[in-house]
Amino acid sequence: MTGAVGVRTDERGVGSLVPTSVARAVRRGAITPETLLDGPEAVRASDAYPLLFVVPPAPAGLPARLDWRETAPHSWRRLAARLVDTALLGYLLLMLVLGTFALVRPDEGGAVLRFLDTKLGLAVSSVLETVLTIPLCALAVARCGSTPGKSLFGIRLRQDGRRPDLRTMLRREWSVAARGQAFGVLLLAQLANASAYRHLKREGRTPWDAANGLTVHHRPATWGMTLLLLILLLFALVGTMAFLPW
């Protein structure tokens, strides 16, 4: 067909489209396969332009970076993501607060920094980092959909298929810090992690996710992700052992 393409809008009216506009009209839904095109004989759009209505086959699978269908529990990946978020977000915010305090009150700030360099100080800083991580992780998931640790290990949270709201995430993060990490208190945190691990393996879902109607989705694991997981857990083990009296 050449020239203008007539489109029958009803039994008496005839619209007009140039051929280059037909594909655009199909994409917008203005022309459907059953739309009658005017000419010497009325012809259906699907017969005149069959290629415009061919439905592409569904992909056999999605790339790993786009596939979030898996909801099976991955306890070690979730622990690693939490360690990254606490060490990164919590530590940076703690250093920002302490640095600001040291600038305003140099003498007291110096004393605090010297205290944090002791074993007891490191234990206190672990608690502070865990608490400071609560609002940062909640805000990151509510606004950006993920946290640095969750992005690194292919984890994301959904509530009825959508991103959770800030209030829900604050409740979840507080519960994670209290029940899953014991607020970072040495040895108690390891016991809390072990309890959360057993519950996740037994129920397939943590109490804080179930209570807030959240579902955890995962990307397929890669070799790089697995290697990073092993390295991170090894460093965490060495760091914990450094606190133990010998």
Q: Are residues 14 and 117 in the same domain?
A: no
Q: For 186-235, how does the pLDDT look when each residue is reduced to its tens digit (9 = 90+)?
A: 889 989 999 999 999 888 889 999 999 999 999 888 888 889 888 888 88
Whether 40 is covered by a domain: the verdict is yes
Q: Are residues 98 and 189 in the same domain?
A: yes
Count of structural domains, the chain: 2
Q: Are residues 100 and 196 in the same domain?
A: yes
Q: For 137-147, how does the pLDDT look when each residue is reduced to its tens digit (9 = 90+)?
A: 999 999 988 89
Whether 69 is covered by a domain: the verdict is no
Q: Are residues 185 and 146 in the same domain?
A: yes
Q: For 149-199, how does the pLDDT look when each residue is reduced to its tens digit (9 = 90+)?
A: 999 999 999 998 889 999 999 999 999 999 999 999 988 998 999 999 999
Whether 236 is covered by a domain: the verdict is yes
Q: Are residues 119 and 29 in the same domain?
A: no
Q: What is the pLDDT of residue 50?
A: 81
Q: Are residues 34 and 104 in the same domain?
A: no
What is the per-residue DSSP string for the chain?
--S-EEEESSSS-EEEE-HHHHHHHHHHTSS-TTPEEESSS-EEHHHHSGGGGPPPPPPS---TTT---B-S--HHHHHHHHHHHIIIIIHHHHHHHHHHHHHHSHHHHHHHHHHHTSHHHHHHHHHHHHHHHHHHHHHHHHHHS--HHHHHTTEEEEBTTBPPPHHHHHHHHHHIIIIITGGG-TTHHHHHHHHHHHHHHHHSS-HHHHHTT-EEEEPPP-HHHHHHHHHHHHHHHHHHHTTS--
Domain that holds residue 36: 5-53
Q: Are residues 150 and 209 in the same domain?
A: yes
Q: Are residues 139 and 212 in the same domain?
A: yes
Q: Are residues 45 and 79 in the same domain?
A: no
